[in-house]
Structure 1
Amino acid sequence: MFGKRPSFRNPWAWVPTLYYAQGIPYVVVMLVSVIMYKRMGISNADIAFYTSLLYLPWAIKPLWSPFVDIFKTKRLWIVIMQFIVGLGLAGVAFTIPLPNFLQYTLAFFLLLAFSSATHDIAADGFYMLGLSEHDQAFFVGIRSTFYRLSMITGQGLLIILAGYFETHSGLPPAVIDVTVNPEVKTEQVFLPDSISNFSAEGELKVVANSSSVTLNTKKRSKSEVDSIVHLVQIKNIQNGFYNTKDGQPKLPILKINPADYSKLVGNISIISFALSSQPEAGQDYVVNFDRDGGDKSIAILEGTRFLFNKANWNKPALVVIQVDPKLKTETSAVFKAISGNIPWAWSMTFLILVGLFILFFIYHYFILPYPVKDGPAVKDASVSVGREFIRTFALFFKKKEILLIITFLLIYRFGEAQLVKLASPFLLDPREVGGLGLTTGEVGFVYGTVGIIALTLGGLTGGFLAARDGLKKWIWWMFAAINIPHILYIYLAFAQPENFVIINLCVAGEQFGYGFGFTAYMLYMIYVSEGEFKTSHYAICTGFMALSMMIPGIFAGMIQEALGYPNFFIWILLTMIPGFFITRMLKIDPEFGKKKIEAK
């Protein structure tokens, strides 16, 4: 009874978990690592440089995809890669507290990146082997949904979890409520020399000069704000708050352009805090200042990480907060000065991820089916592996109408690739320069909530219809859905509506169209990958998919600056014309994606 290996299992039992597991390592390496390194005191330059290099395995994964086809089964590759991902996460967790944590954790993140990219190759191949064409079409929206959920987990839940550990592992924090009210009187910004509301007795904790701050929406000149920020930087450096293992950083030089005297930016205020009593000799406390909730239109302009010790415990650490200049209504946010055990907090977060991937490994080891076609592409030991490796690429580029296929892969999202780079700047830019003048918090809601919901619904709808009627029937309509809703951005650019509901509806319409239309792109990659090396060929297709977003995006900003927002969105709409003819030229089996009724 236990010896028989099922060649089929209900896809609901493994497709959602497989693609949820696929997304977690990516978001950990590319996004969570950035926040972790920032909390650990690594400079922005080093963070940007090293984490950008970590993307390399995903960029070049088509180069080693034939090995996944040639050796063993996709099922085995999946469970082994999930086990290795677990080992990589454990490596990060155990090396975070070490003195040379940057080198060690980067090595394990690189292991995570390569194993995750290999997992992507195997999972996508297994998806094609373990499902019928109909189920592949139906579940394409499901798999995208759970992949997006993994992104939300990484960007949201994991960061919240690490923040919880930070808050509950060190000194009691200082909580500051910040309120913005257009009606309050403008106050002079001053730099405090001391913290007035603490005594050097009792429990060691972080204390703020005030538990609440109120400021109005009146704008200030950029020159004034830059000068105040410069003074804050000097004070914090002189007091030793910005010290690193390399010592005290150099004092910054203030540079003000003549135009900055007339340029207006958001109002600012200074928050100060210190320790309540003197720490023991040799004991350092790192205090991180961050938002704990509320409107993102109130942001930190200067001061996020401070080093306290016996020499500076009672000196005021200074933070500059700034109001979004487009904010016109009353709002609030809560900030915290937290002195948690940062290495311990992030180690615990990664150990929880280790436990999660142990569960994934065990679950998929027992639950994943054993598709009949899942086997090594090279079964004859006498066949040269090198020759088969080369043949894998040769067969892809020998496919019938390969130039048409590649052109379609590169041009299908040509307009969307440009829009995605400028959509948020358009929403944020002032109305005077053609934007909609939304605040950061409003843009976060539009894209982070409304947009995600619409995108997911579009993907699910596309998968259902393609599974019911086949890809051929819907591919042109899906191409139209991913391009024609750009008209909504043309309307927004010309009308510049102030009604927030209308803006949300327009963005939701465009995102629904993108989710719906992207279904055809995913299914077409599956369709053209059919054959002897479908796993490798699908990976090659994803390489062209990455290029299709990268190349147009490079030039999008320059085109927008030359044309302005209204004409830029018209340009984006017009770029669908070549794709219209390319899509009409595609030859697709009318039955691909439909449910086939087997004769009994």
Structure 2
Amino acid sequence: MSQSQIPAAADAAAERSPMRWVPSLYFMQGTQFFVVMMLASFVFKNMGVSNDQIARWTSVLGTAWAIKPLWSPFLELMRHKKTIVVAMQGLAAILVAVLALTLQTPWWFVLALCVFFLCAYASATHDIACDGLYMGALDSTRQARYAGWQGAFFNGARFFMVGVVLKIAGVLEAPMGVANAWTTVFVGLAVLMAVLAAYNAYSLPGKLSAEHSDLQASAIWETTREIVIDFFRKPGIWMAVLFIVLFRFAEGQVQTIGPLFLIEARDKGGLGLTTSQVADVYGWVGTVAFLVGSVLGGYFTAWLSLRRAMPVLLLAMSVPNATFYYLAATLPSDMWHIGGAVFVEMFGYGFGFVGMILYIMQAVAPGKFQTAHYALGSGVMQLGFILSRSISGDIQVAVGYEHFFLWTLFCGVPVLLLLPFVRIPGKPPAAAEPVPQPAESTT
């Protein structure tokens, strides 16, 4: 290709319909996230790791998304976000292939944790550049128009990872053994991710180059410092931080231990489902329920206002706790019974979680640095999730499944008691009202 043809090719890429790159971009974003935050737990459980170890180490992996605002401003030193996006996608494909090999070694647990750690930070870095590319490539009208497709394909990756990838692993475990089954799955997943990375290298708008912007690291650091100081000077910010942490305190524990309870042997207090059965109830039933709950929760809050809807949203967040307590107390064996309970659980989770997203948008983020403060609020939210996740395994091992889920019901009480003291905005002006999207689950 001649030098005169290169700008023309770049311009043509920029003019492509967003539907040629938004789906593949956000499906890849979700795929990287759910490899770490969902599949890792199932791999460790099926390979014989205890619940306390699983909860502790997967919470460490989750810190990548909590602290990503710390290095996100410095990615502005790279002129073209496409370069970072494609590089992180290619790196993710390589790491997943390496992950497949680690399961065949005697030191598989330590090696797999190291690879998952690298995957987590590559994925978090990809998230930053991915959203930056989206905002830079589209004007505000098209950003809003295609925002729904973002959430749809991110959550489509959730369905794919649990409903398809986990299902394949479950089918292969019996004839091949757990380690060989997951090795095969990760090899196939690495190939898929490599294909998506190659496609995105072609389809994404922008250039693949290592050009640097005119920004200086010192100037970025000073701006970052100003953003953080301004965030913690907001009126009532410490009460808001406590509210965000308590909002997720029960949820983080249930969302960590719940899937492990489904797959735990019945003589150990679990439901004894196979990996394939968990894929069916969580991949199909659970994903549909979560999306429906998220959409309805968004419309419900828009109709009633966040201030008036918040008590209902908080009660909805306790539905998963009550559902798992019921399952642990009754131990049903009928799959329709279990599937119905999972539908209720995930519907309540999706419906209630909208409250946290909108609270950060409307009560925490507004101000001079709205976008950056939303990222900081989201980081606090993730840290709250990690805190509750990290202690969940130890508590469950100590008291058993039934008492553990009863404990999580009481963990939802403090945030309800705090609610009257938290500043929550009423109905925002119509022009500023955000369009709620299905929440990106962090579990």
Q: TM-score band (shorter)?
A: 0.5 to 0.7
Distance 1:19 1:422, change over 3 A: same
Distance 1:350 1:492, change over 3 A: closer
Local SS of the residue matching 2:428: coil
Which amino acid counterpart does residue 364 of structure 1 have in structure 2? L
What does 1:452-463 align with in structure 2 at a 5 Å threshold?
452-463=287-298
- RCO (CA 8 Å, sep 6+): is it higher in 1 or 2? 2
- 2:89 counterpart of 1:85: yes
Aligned to 1:544: 380
Distance 1:459 1:132, change over 3 A: farther
Aligned to 2:272: 439
> Which residue of 340, 346, 360 maps to 1:505?
340
Distance 2:160 2:188 in 1: 16
Aligned to 1:418: 253
Local SS of the residue matching 2:271: coil
Distance 1:499 1:160, change over 3 A: closer
What does 1:202-221 align with in structure 2 at a 5 Å threshold?
none
Deviations, residues 244-289 of structure 1 (Å, cap 9, x unaligned) = xxxxxxxxxxxxxxxxxxxxxxxxxxxxxxxxxxxxxxxxxxxxxx
Q: CA deviation at 1:407?
A: 1.9
What's the % identity of the aligned pairs?
26
Aligned to 2:284: 449
Distance 1:460 1:148 in 2: 13
Local SS of the residue matching 2:175: strand
Aligned to 2:3: none
Distance 1:339 1:488 in 2: 32
Distance 1:338 1:586 in 2: 48
Aligned to 2:410: 571
Aligned to 2:395: 558
Name the one with the larger helix percent. 2
Distance 1:118 1:530, change over 3 A: farther
Q: TM-score, normalised by structure 1?
A: 0.52
- Matched-pair contact (CA < 8 Å) for 2:34–2:158: yes
- Matched-pair contact (CA < 8 Å) for 1:137–1:593: no
Deviations, residues 473-510 of structure 1 (Å, cap 9, x unaligned) = 64443333223564445555666666654443333222
Aligned to 2:200: 360
Deviations, residues 406-459 of structure 1 (Å, cap 9, x unaligned) = 1222122222223334435665779999x5x63223555443432222112212
Distance 1:390 1:37 in 2: 39
- Matched-pair contact (CA < 8 Å) for 1:54–1:113: yes
Which amino acid counterpart does residue 385 of structure 1 have in structure 2? I
Distance 2:111 2:399 in 1: 43
Aligned to 1:586: 424
Aligned to 1:479: 314
- 2:70 counterpart of 1:63: yes
Aligned to 1:214: none
What does 1:318-329 align with in structure 2 at a 5 Å threshold?
none
Aligned to 1:119: 126
Distance 1:149 1:52, change over 3 A: same
Distance 1:145 1:531 in 2: 29
Q: CA deviation at 1:466?
A: 5.2
Gaps of 5+ in 1: 164-290, 294-299, 301-333, 368-375, 596-600
Name the one with the larger strand percent. 1
Distance 1:468 1:56 in 2: 35
- Matched-pair contact (CA < 8 Å) for 1:292–1:336: no
What CA RMSD, in Å, does the superposition of the two structures yield over aligned residues?
5.6
Distance 2:96 2:256 in 1: 32
Distance 1:77 1:127, change over 3 A: closer
- Matched-pair contact (CA < 8 Å) for 1:450–1:504: yes
Which amino acid counterpart does residue 552 of structure 1 have in structure 2? S
Q: CA deviation at 1:24?
A: 2.2
Deviations, residues 358-386 of structure 1 (Å, cap 9, x unaligned) = 2123322269xxxxxxxx9x988797333
Deviations, residues 48-76 of structure 1 (Å, cap 9, x unaligned) = 999997666445323212324x5467xx3
Distance 1:428 1:106 in 2: 21
**How many aligned residue pairs are there?**
409
Distance 1:92 1:62 in 2: 25
Aligned to 1:387: 222
What does 1:82-161 align with in structure 2 at a 5 Å threshold?
82-87=86-91, 89-90=93-94, 112-124=119-131, 139=147, 143-154=150-161
Distance 1:54 1:565, change over 3 A: closer
Q: CA deviation at 1:515?
A: 0.7
- 2:233 counterpart of 1:398: yes
Aligned to 1:19: 26
Q: TM-score, normalised by structure 2?
A: 0.67
Q: Could you tell which deviates more after superposition, 548-557 or 393-402?
A: 548-557
Aligned to 1:327: none
Which amino acid counterpart does residue 121 of structure 1 have in structure 2? I
Distance 1:350 1:339 in 2: 16
Which amino acid counterpart does residue 33 of structure 2 have in structure 1? Y
Q: CA deviation at 1:403?
A: 1.4
Gaps of 5+ in 2: 1-7, 436-443
- Matched-pair contact (CA < 8 Å) for 2:92–2:123: no
